[in-house]
């Protein structure tokens, strides 16, 4: 390879390009179920036989003119954020409609760069975007090092696949001490210094003597792995592609091919004369392509870039244990993502409040793991790229990356019907809210009613669990059939291994989340150690029903949740998903895409149980199919919850044949649906407007409390601060942005957030406000205020932008926010600002009177909210007093007294 100058003539480059396209086309054609035949069919002229048929048909009386079909809109892909041609090619192959502009409503959004939390919050449940919030915790070199070190302290043996790392400048003295120790022991090691946020080998240097490393900021130092496995005498590293399809729950796949990137000067052990030879020590393509010895691959066995498949073959031929190597690599990948998991989950849930656990993830991510292998066949994790290059300079790039993207898109299981399902989910959720009955006071209930309620509750929980289990089975079934060249590595099929991972995950949550860990750990065991099988849950539901039937309630109680009395009897149900699918199927008749392409996967993806219960009058099958029935805001969940029957009735319900449902006729279904829709939408809208208005009123009545002072006095304090703003501004800025750390800043905003939640619970009469559209809007505002560790709230004090900086989250958004909703947001921002000022003023006063012992007592109510509305004040007071009295004095350092 070296010594042979690569051909760089223009013709050879053009040949290369041609080659690439031709291969890609032939490759597509070779794939099972390629559309070639369908394409040919539409293109070729009619055969004589066919022509005869056409003629004879022409003589027949003309059939009634067919209704012109509505123009079909396909699955849309917004690729405006990516520069990679191969992504466009794959999307085209999958028959996606590629948007001309940056369409925020596309089914698929692919971006090469960072995606903000706001953008993820705004996504509708049917959309998919190629990044997770929080992934930066393992994709920035310094974050990865910090998080790994934290876990290594508790699990040194399990996490020994990252080279020893120091983050500069903080760890500079630790590094120097380590170097001194080595010197004393007469041991010599090499260190590699890299920019914390660098890429492509930029700014990397090697040092033999750690004392010479400057304490440069934003750099990391690593022990150099000086005995790498060599390929034909060259150092190499692996680019392994890992796909995360969801973090709630976590699902990880590894692609069965990738790149082997070789250095271009033969490797010798690091020594002073060769330290600066980056063509020997670095394996980046971006570095080595500049070496005259860089060789473009003419075949899979030559060139400076090769495939992992080739490497496996090479290792096998040379008697290396490739099975062991890959077992170690899988293990490393899973454990690394377990380290990321608390951050991923937290960030995802912040962005998607109310998304039912186990629902389809709007985020996915293709990560590029850079892995070095040493001579003992140990993999070393060098870094993770959150936007691995999809450049296709060489044929090998195109072959691997196009297959990778295609299999990724297929696994995402994007379906045209997802949008409508989402529409129904929202409608059902709204319907559920609209017809929600007020909970009766337990004291007013008879014993029988109490028992009945508890059985109902238990049944509901079981149904949820059943839906979750069924959803998980269906998902797994789909993955097994559509993984292509991916292999799922988490959850693992190996039960022992899975148990080990679950324990590690649980422990990591304990390390990272401390106080909040127990609840999460319980959830982890429940989600990842699925002890219950579908049959077990069905048995338990049957038991509940038997209890009811046996007359344990004293009377023949109607089975299943009763239809709500407030529900208009004439309100027909909206068409079920299947009816929609049928409609869609018809419309889809001309819309063909290759088998396995995302548009057509939906049928395959159905679990067998779905198919056995066709028809529209199947509340129970709906409950089970949609993971989400009842509490989950998935299609028709509200309807099923109101109309669902107990499981024992399932067979009766199921026995109604599909033809029965078809009796109604699609037309009538559609008409009925339209009428219902309009009626329902109007009623729900009116009701929601009314409740939003009430919420606004309650928010306007809220006041931030200053301990020991009346509301009027607190208002006076705020006025004084505003009047002397010039004087206070730098002090408040330094208090907020410097003195308080980000956790405390979050807690100030949380004072308002928790009270807003309480108001919503009271006015909307629900405990789980996460599902409320209004709360989701508020969450976006809170996220914006927390932007850049609280900088967002500080920006709201800016007079130049007229406090409008937060408003851009709505002006740029496609979501329509009505005036009252917007005014609620405005009021929330105002309350957060007031809360900051009161906390600041209180801390300042506390400092000036630090001699007073009674401080803690007074602090107990600082920063809480009061309300002119007596009911809401009664609701909020205990909540605030309790939490704040315990933590307030510890939380907020005293402000500079000179400020007042």
- Tokens 């319980």 sit at which residue? 522
DSSP 8-class letter at 736: I
Kindly state the smallest distance separating residue 372's Cβ from ligand ADP, in Å.
6
Q: Work out how close the CB of 388 gets to ligand ADP at its nearest, in angstroms, rounded to a whole number.
A: 11
- Residue 238: beta bridge partners? 260, 371
Nearest distance from C-beta of residue 357 to ligand ADP, angstroms: 35
319-325, Cβ contacts within 8 angstroms, sequence gap of 24 or more: 320/377, 321/377, 324/377, 325/373, 325/377, 325/379
Instruction: Tell me how crowded residue 863 is: count the other CB atoms within 10 A of its CB.
Output: 26
For every residue of 125-173, DSSP letters joined together read TT-EES--TTTHHHHSHHHHHHHHHHHHTT-TTTT--S--EEEETTTHH
Contact status, residue 453 vs residue 600, Cβ threshold 8 Å: no
Nearer to ligand ADP, 235 or 780 (CB): 235
Q: In whole angstroms, how close is the CB of 235 to ligand ADP at the nearest point? A: 6
Least distance CB 171 / ligand ADP (angstroms)? 15
Provide the minimum distance between the beta carbon of 111 and ligand ADP in the complex, in angstroms, as a whole number: 20
Q: Which is nearer to ligand ADP, 51 or 202 (CB)?
A: 202
* Residues contacting 841, CB < 8 A, separation 6+: 706, 717, 721, 895, 900
Judge whether 280 and 274 are in contact, CB under 8 Å: yes
- Smaller CB distance to ligand ADP: residue 205 or 654? 205
**Residues forming the site for ligand ADP (CB under 6 A):** 163, 192, 194, 198-202, 204, 222, 224-225, 237, 282-284, 370, 372, 382-383
Task: Read off the tokens for 871.
Answer: 């009911």
Residue 141: CB minimum distance to ligand ADP, A: 7
The residue among 69 and 202 lying less far from ligand ADP, judged by its C-beta, is 202
How far is 87 from 409, CA to CA, in rounded Å? 10
799 vs 745: CA distance, rounded Å: 21
Are 852 and 812 spatial neighbours (Cβ–Cβ below 8 Å)?
no
CB of 381 to ligand ADP, least distance (A): 10
Nearer to ligand ADP, 328 or 349 (CB): 328
Give long-range contacts, CB 8 A cutoff, 24+ apart: 114-117.
117/347, 117/350, 117/351, 117/783
Name which of 283 and 295 has its Cβ closer to ligand ADP. Answer: 283
Provide the pairing of β-strand 234-247 with 365-373: antiparallel
Judged by CB, which is closer to ligand ADP: 386, or 433?
386
**Listed residue (774, 584, 578) closest to 691, CA to CA:** 774
Nearer to ligand ADP, 278 or 884 (CB): 278
**Is residue 111 within 8 Å of 82, Cβ to Cβ?**
yes
- The smaller minimum CB distance to ligand ADP, of residues 207 and 224, is found at 224
* Minimum CB–partner distance for residue 170 and ligand ADP (Å): 19
Task: State the minimum distance, in angstroms, from the CB of residue 384 to ligand ADP.
Answer: 9
Structure-block tokens of residue 55: 């003629």
Tokens of 799: 């007079």
Nearer residue to ligand ADP within complex by CB, 192 or 411: 192
We find the least distance from the C-beta atom of residue 144 to ligand ADP, in angstroms, to be: 10
Q: Across the chain, which distance is largest between two alpha carbons, in Å? A: 106
Q: Are the beta carbons of 625 and 763 closer than 8 angstroms?
A: no
What's the closest the beta carbon of residue 312 comes to ligand ADP, in angstroms? 20
Tell me the closest approach of the beta carbon of residue 147 to ligand ADP, in angstroms.
16
Q: From the CB of 188, what's the least distance to ligand ADP, in Å?
A: 15
| Cβ-count burial 735-773 (b if 16+ within 10 Å, e if not) | bbeebbeeebbbbbbbbbbbbbbbbbbbbbebeebbbbb
Q: How far apart are CA 335 and CA 328, in angstroms?
A: 11
Q: Which is nearer to ligand ADP, 237 or 394 (CB)?
A: 237
Smaller CB separation from ligand ADP, 142 or 237? 237
Kind of pairing, strands 702-704 and 865-867? antiparallel
Please say which residue, 194 or 296, places its beta carbon nearer to ligand ADP. 194
Beta bridge partners of 193: 205, 221
**Residues forming beta bridges with residue 222, ordered by sequence position:** 165, 192
Q: What is the DSSP string of 802-824?
A: TTGGGGHHHHTSSS---HHHHHH
| Closer Cβ to ligand ADP, 225 or 311, answer by number | 225
Residues 305 and 260 sit within 8 Å (Cβ to Cβ): yes
CA 153-157-161 angle, to 5 degrees, is 95
The residue count of the chain comes to: 900
Identity of the residue, 305 or 776, whose beta carbon is nearer to ligand ADP in the bound complex = 305
């Amino acid at each position: 390879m070296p010594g042979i100058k690569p051909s760089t003539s223009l013709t050879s480059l053009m040949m290369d390009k041609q080659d690439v396209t031709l291969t890609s086309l032939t490759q597509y054609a070779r794939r099972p179920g390629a559309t070639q035949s369908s394409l040919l069919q539409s293109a070729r002229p009619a055969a004589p036989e066919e022509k005869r048929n056409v003629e004879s048909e022409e003589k027949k009386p003309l059939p009634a003119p067919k209704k012109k079909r509505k123009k079909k809109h396909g699955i849309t892909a917004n690729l405006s954020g990516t520069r990679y041609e191969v992504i466009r090619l794959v999307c085209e192959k999958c028959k996606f409609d590629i948007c001309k502009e940056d369409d925020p409503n596309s089914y698929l959004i692919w971006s090469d760069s960072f995606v903000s939390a706001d953008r993820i919050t705004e996504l509708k449940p049917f959309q998919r975007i190629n990044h997770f919030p929080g992934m930066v915790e393992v994709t920035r070199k310094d974050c990865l090092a910090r998080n790994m070190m934290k876990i290594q302290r508790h699990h040194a043996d399990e996490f020994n696949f990252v080279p020893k790392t120091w983050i500069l400048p903080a760890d500079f003295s630790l590094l120097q001490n380590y170097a001194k120790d080595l010197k004393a022991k007469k041991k010599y090691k090499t260190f590699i210094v890299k920019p914390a946020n660098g890429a492509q080998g930029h700014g990397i240097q090697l040092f033999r003597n750690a004392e010479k490393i400057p304490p440069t900021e934003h750099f990391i130092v690593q022990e150099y792995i000086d005995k790498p496995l060599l390929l034909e005498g060259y150092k190499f590293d692996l680019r392994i592609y890992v796909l995360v399809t969801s973090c709630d729950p976590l699902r990880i796949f590894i692609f069965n091919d990738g790149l082997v990137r070789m250095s271009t000067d033969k490797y010798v052990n690091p020594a002073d004369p060769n330290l600066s030879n980056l063509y020997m020590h670095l394996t980046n393509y971006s570095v080595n392509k500049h070496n005259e010895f860089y060789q473009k691959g003419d075949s899979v066995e030559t060139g400076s870039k090769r495939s992992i498949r080739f490497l496996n073959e090479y290792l096998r031929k040379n008697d290396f244990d490739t099975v062991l190597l890959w077992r170690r690599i899988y293990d490393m990948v899973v454990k690394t993502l377990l380290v990321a998991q608390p951050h991923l989950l937290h960030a995802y849930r912040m962005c998607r409040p109310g998304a039912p656990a186990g629902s389809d993830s709007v985020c996915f991510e293709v990560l590029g793991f850079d892995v070095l292998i040493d001579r003992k066949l140990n993999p070393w994790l060098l870094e993770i790229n959150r936007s691995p290059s999809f450049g296709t300079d060489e044929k090998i790039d195109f072959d691997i990356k196009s297959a990778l993207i295609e299999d990724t898109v297929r696994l995402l299981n994007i379906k045209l019907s997802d949008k409508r399902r989402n529409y129904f989910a929202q409608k059902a959720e709204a319907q559920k809210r609209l017809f929600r009955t007020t909970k009766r006071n337990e004291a007013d209930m008879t014993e029988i009613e109490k028992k009945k309620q508890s059985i109902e509750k238990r049944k509901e929980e079981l149904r949820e669990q059943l839906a979750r289990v069924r959803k998980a089975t269906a998902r797994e079934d789909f993955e097994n059939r559509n993984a292509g060249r991916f292999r799922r590595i988490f959850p693992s099929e190996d039960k022992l291994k899975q148990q080990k991972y679950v324990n590690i995950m649980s422990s990591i949550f304990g390390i990272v989340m401390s106080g909040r860990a127990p609840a999460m750990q319980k959830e982890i065991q429940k989600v990842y150690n699925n002890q219950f099988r579908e049959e077990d849950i069905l048995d338990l539901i049957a038991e509940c029903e038997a209890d009811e039937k046996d007359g344990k309630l004293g009377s023949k109680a109607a089975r299943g949740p009763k239809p709500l009395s407030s529900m208009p009897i004439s309100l027909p149900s909206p068409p079920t998903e299947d009816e929609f699918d049928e409609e869609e199927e018809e419309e889809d008749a001309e819309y063909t895409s290759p088998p396995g392409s995302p548009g057509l996967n939906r049928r395959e993806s159905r679990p067998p149980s779905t198919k056995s219960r066709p028809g529209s009058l199947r509340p129970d099958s709906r409950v089970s199919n949609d993971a989400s029935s009842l509490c989950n805001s998935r299609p028709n969940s509200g309807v099923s919850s109101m109309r669902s029957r107990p499981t024992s009735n399932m067979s009766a319900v199921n026995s109604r044949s599909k033809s029965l449902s078809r009796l109604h006729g699609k037309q009538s279904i559609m008409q009925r649906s339209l009428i219902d829709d309009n009626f329902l939408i109007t009623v729900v809208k009116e009701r929601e407007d009314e409740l939003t208005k009430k919420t606004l009123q309650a928010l306007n009545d809220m006041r931030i409390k200053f301990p020991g002072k009346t509301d009027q006095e607190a208002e006076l304090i705020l006025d004084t601060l505003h009047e002397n703003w010039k004087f206070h501004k730098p002090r408040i800025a330094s208090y907020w942005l410097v003195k308080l750390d980000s956790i405390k800043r979050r807690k100030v905003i949380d004072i308002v957030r928790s009270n807003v939640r309480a108001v919503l619970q009271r006015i909307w009469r629900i405990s789980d406000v996460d599902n409320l559209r209004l709360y989701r809007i508020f969450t976006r505002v809170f996220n914006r205020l927390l932007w850049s560790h609280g900088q967002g709230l500080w920006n709201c004090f800016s007079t130049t932008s007229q406090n409008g900086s937060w408003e851009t989250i709505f002006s740029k958004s496609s979501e329509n926010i009505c005036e009252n909703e917007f005014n609620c947001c405005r009021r929330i921002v105002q309350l957060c600002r007031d809360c900051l000022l009161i906390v600041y003023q209180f801390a300042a006063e506390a400092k000036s009177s630090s001699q007073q012992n009674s401080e803690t007592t007074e602090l107990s109510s600082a920063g809480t909210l009061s309300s002119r509305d007596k009911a809401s004040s009664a609701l909020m007071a205990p909540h605030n007093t309790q939490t704040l009295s315990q933590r307030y004095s510890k939380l907020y350092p005293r402000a500079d007294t000179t400020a007042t």
